[in-house]
Chain A
């Protein structure tokens, strides 16, 4: 008891040491409302967007990708030169960018140890510049890289589309219907997923002539499997939750619940999964074209450009570097953005 009193006295001493000038009286009209929600309420997308914005790598990637996509859209109507037009007198020119005087970008190339202006040798007019150089047929590499990137993006878009269309439908039906439908659909999925993608692509190439169509069909046939699995697993989790029960009690039809109640709740994982499909589709196209079973000449894709550039790499390094840089930039930015989106939208990773 004595101790307590001692402590009280001590406290008293402590308080008395604080001068009253440290305190300001509260405004008399002030009422503290502890029920008020100070932060604005955020929807699912706003919340995800807020977290994505914090991820610098993802934001930079997104900006670069948007830039690339807008350049590609413009390049449908305007390219510096015709990507497939052969102009043999202008063949094998190194890059020349006006007002840039760095060897390698000023139209000079090393011939037997000396820098020689190849544009002069080829009698190229002064106002004609090939920013990325030209290939063995005198085709402008910049225009070809633009065309190739466009094809890569087109294939990525198609792959994402099939991913969404088939994957979501399959997963949603399988998970939502459940029971014997689910069992049969899952067994079919198991068998299909056992077939290697590469084999399907080769089969498609046997069936349809190699080109954009065959690659898109093959990606469409095989790409949706992971999406279907993820969507099914998530649907199974959601279908026993209260809001579904509530919708059911209110007499909504089964189809309506699946489309307007379950589907919106899947949007996070769907966005993330789609973003991971895109870089793998781009890689696959480039891979197939590189080994020579993808796009056919004269059409350019990043894979065929790399393949052509690789063959003459020591003498015409620009033919390899520019397509390689293009594909690396696209792949890295898509992967970084996909990672950022996963961290932002995947509830499991929520901080």
Chain B
């Protein structure tokens, strides 16, 4: 067990190093950028620019600014937005994290559930017509970019059929349906593929044969006995899956005009709002690194065989 804790401790240290590196790189690169973050830059006189720099603390040397920013960031102060009326970045993001998390969680649940069912059925009827259909939908789900898919969904179900609102986040659950479906495509395809491979292996094992010999129905065997073992390795792809969800949310939030983090991120890149870019980058990195760590720990707990070699990843 002490081995296990040492493994976790090691991973946490790596995680902190990673975050430190990312934040330093971002900060450094931002300072090499040409131009200033002010609007109508050309119209500013030197004097005005000096006043602005002083006001935002941009007149101090790089190292000093870095120390000020980092000591603030550690305490949870990410500075003020240079574009959105001097609001603290923290409060801008706090307002927007809700929709993003809800969307991500819904897409994850929907995608993995459908994917697991699809993968299991495909494995049960291996090499049959149903398997072909399931594999084909997995390939399409992996290949069609999620923004193309989002646009098609929006056109079909919102513009032509008018079942769901076209965009925005003001009709409660109804307005979450289309973006959730659009986002869930890639986790669905990934998990369906993964579960199919695992399930085919599991369904050929002895204990499944025993369950069949006892006269259990094939569906009960697959979903009650087989799935339990096939699900464990699925945990390993939860990490990459959440990465693709985050990337996907950037574009899906934009298409459906959802006031989430992703939309804010794109907006801040477009307007060169550096403190917001920095904060969102940090937020994404932290979330991601934490999820990967949690997945590793979870895997060690669920499958004790992994724990011994867990450090060797």
Contact = CB atoms under 8 A, between A and B. Distances in A.
Interface in A143-178: none
B26 interface: yes
B18 A205 contact: no
A348 to B, nearest CB: 11
A249 B32 CA distance: 54
Contacts of A314: 159
Given A202-B281, A203-B25, A292-B266, A195 B18 contact: yes
A291 to B, nearest CB: 5
A7 to B, nearest CB: 35
B284 interface: yes
A191 B254 contact: no
Contacts of A202: 269, 277, 281
Contacts of A334: 143
Contacts of A199: 22, 26, 281, 284-285
B21 to A, nearest CB: 6
B21 A286 contact: no
Contacts of B288: 194, 196
B174 interface: no
Interface in A221-246: none
B144 A328 contact: yes
B114 interface: no
B247 A198 contact: yes
Nearest to B263: A291
Contacts of B139: 332, 335-336, 339
B246 interface: yes
B117 to A, nearest CB: 22
B22 to A, nearest CB: 5
B140 A332 contact: yes
A290 interface: yes
Given A287-B251, A313-B151, A327 B284 contact: no
A291 B251 contact: yes
B142 A335 contact: yes
Chain B interface residue number, banded: 35 or more
A197 to B, nearest CB: 8
Contacts of A206: 29-30, 33, 277
A320 B152 CA distance: 10
Contact of A306 (B15, B29, B148, B159): B148
Contacts of B246: 196, 198
A202 B265 CA distance: 10
Nearest to B250: A291
Interface string A186-212: 010011001111110011011100000
B247 A191 contact: no
B261 interface: no
B17 A191 contact: yes
Interface in B242-290: 243, 246-247, 250-251, 254-255, 266, 269-270, 277, 281, 284-285, 288-289
B145 A291 contact: no
B292 interface: yes
A35 to B, nearest CB: 35
Given A191-B21, A291-B250, A198 B143 contact: no
Contacts of B56: none
B287 to A, nearest CB: 9
Chain A interface residue number, banded: 35 or more
A302 B19 CA distance: 33
B216 interface: no
Contacts of A339: 139
A191 B30 CA distance: 21
A108 B22 CA distance: 54
B37 to A, nearest CB: 12
Contact of A195 (B21, B266, B277): B21
A190 B311 CA distance: 12
A262 interface: no
B19 to A, nearest CB: 8
B147 interface: yes
Interface in A315-349: 320, 324, 327-328, 331-332, 334-336, 339
A14 B285 CA distance: 81
B270 A287 contact: no
Contacts of A292: 266, 270
Nearest to B186: A283
Interface string B279-313: 00100110011001000000000000000000001
Contact of B254 (A190, A194, A291, A324): A291
Given A198-B284, A202-B269, A291-B254, A331 B143 contact: yes
Give the most central of A187, A194, A198, A202: most B CB within 10 Å.
A194
A313 B32 CA distance: 39
Interface in B1-41: 14-15, 17-18, 21-22, 25-26, 29-30, 32-33
A207 B292 contact: no
Q: Which 10 A-B pairs have the closest CB atoms?
A: A194-B18, A331-B143, A332-B143, A335-B143, A324-B148, A207-B29, A191-B18, A194-B289, A199-B281, A291-B266
Given A191-B14, A290-B145, A320-B151, 7 more contacts: A187-B14, A195-B22, A287-B147, A287-B250, A310-B255, A335-B139, A336-B139
26 contacts: A191-B17, A194-B18, A194-B288, A194-B292, A196-B284, A202-B269, A203-B29, A205-B269, A206-B29, A206-B277, A279-B143, A286-B147, A292-B266, A292-B270, A293-B266, A293-B270, A306-B147, A324-B148, A324-B151, A327-B145, A327-B148, A328-B148, A331-B145, A332-B140, A332-B143, A335-B139
